[in-house]
């Protein structure tokens, strides 16, 4: 199975519930799923989303 990946970096001022809400919206409307989350000492989160690659166009990420 082939996936496409979208790396995101969330700043330290974004709290956990806000980050979860943003990622849930992307998952519901664009088909992304959470592949990895890394939390750094300064509070920055590095998030990697993935979704199956298909031939028909799908909506991209909205920031």
Query: What HEC string does 34-59 produce?
Result: EEEEEECCCCCEEEEEEEECCCCCCC
Average pLDDT over residues 49-54: 87
Neighbours of 50 (CB within 10 A): 15
Q: Measured on CA atoms in the order 22, 28, 33, 34, is the torsion positive or negative?
A: positive
Q: Are 54 and 21 in contact (CB under 8 A)?
A: no
pLDDT exceeds 80 at position 48: yes
Confidence (pTM): 0.74
Average pLDDT over residues 23-43: 89
Percent over 90 (pLDDT), the chain:
49
pLDDT exceeds 70 at position 59: no
């Amino acid at each position: 199975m082939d996936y496409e990946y979208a790396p995101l970096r969330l700043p330290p001022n974004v709290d956990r519930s806000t980050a979860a809400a943003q990622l849930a919206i992307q998952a519901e409307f664009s088909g992304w799923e959470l592949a990895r989350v890394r939390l750094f000492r300064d509070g920055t989160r590095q998030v990697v989303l993935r979704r199956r690659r298909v031939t028909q166009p799908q909506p991209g990420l909205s920031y």
